[in-house]
């Protein structure tokens, strides 16, 4: 049986590479997925990746991960600060998850300092750029 981790990227992360490069750099979403997959492979995992600008699509993907994935690496983007239903989906599937943010949200606007996920995430990696995805994946897998 193939071991899988669900990689979830939230709203506007499809614009990586062109959106605010001074904050997020010039790497693309494809780079994020490649880096995460490359970190997963030597650990015996494959990545199932989803990105959407629609909260319900992300929730459906999280629900679908039950029975297919052993954990979730998620960059919820702006939903971090606003979405109770995303939190409920993550806690509802009972899969350990890692919360990732490319930028240091605590060095940015005050509204970005609050996360609805911080107290239920098994792992949090913040402000480490794209390498944060690989770091979060490795930490998550070590908990499985």
Q: Is 61 helix (H, G, I), strand (E, B) or coil?
A: helix
Chain-centre distance for alpha carbon 134: 11
Instruction: List the Cα angle 64/42/10 in 5-degree steps.
Output: 35
Delimit the domains of the chain by residue range: 3-106
Q: Is 102 annotated as a binding residue?
A: yes
Q: Which residues of the chain have pLDDT under 50?
A: none
DSSP-derived letter for residue 118 is T
- Residue 54 annotated among the catalytic residues of the structure: no
pLDDT at 1: 62
Point out the catalytic residue in the list 63, 101, 106, 113: 101
Q: Tell me: is residue 88 an annotated ligand-binding position.
A: yes
**CATH number for the domain whose boundaries are 3-106:** 3.40.50.9100
Assess whether 101 carries a catalytic annotation: yes
Q: What is the pLDDT of residue 24?
A: 67
User: What is the spatial distance between Cα 116 and Cα 22, in angstroms, rounded to a whole number?
Assistant: 26
What are the distances in angstroms from CA 4 to CA 84, 101, 127? 25, 21, 25
Task: Flag whether 119 is marked binding.
Answer: no
Predicted local confidence at residue 105, as pLDDT: 75
pLDDT value at residue 71: 98
């Amino acid at each position: 049986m193939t071991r899988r981790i669900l990689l979830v990227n939230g709203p506007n992360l499809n614009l990586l590479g062109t959106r605010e490069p001074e904050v997020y750099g010039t790497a693309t979403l494809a780079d994020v997925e490649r880096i995460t997959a490359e970190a997963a492979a030597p650990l015996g995992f494959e990545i199932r990746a989803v990105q959407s600008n629609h909260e319900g699509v992300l929730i459906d993907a999280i629900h679908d991960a039950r029975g297919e994935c052993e954990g979730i690496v998620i960059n919820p983007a702006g939903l971090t600060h606003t979405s109770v239903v995303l939190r409920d989906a993550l806690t509802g599937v009972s899969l350990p998850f890692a919360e990732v943010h490319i930028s240091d949200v605590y060095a940015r606007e005050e509204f970005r300092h609050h996360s609805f996920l911080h107290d239920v995430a098994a792992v949090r990696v913040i402000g480490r750029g794209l390498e944060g995805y690989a770091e979060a994946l490795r930490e998550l897998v070590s908990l499985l």
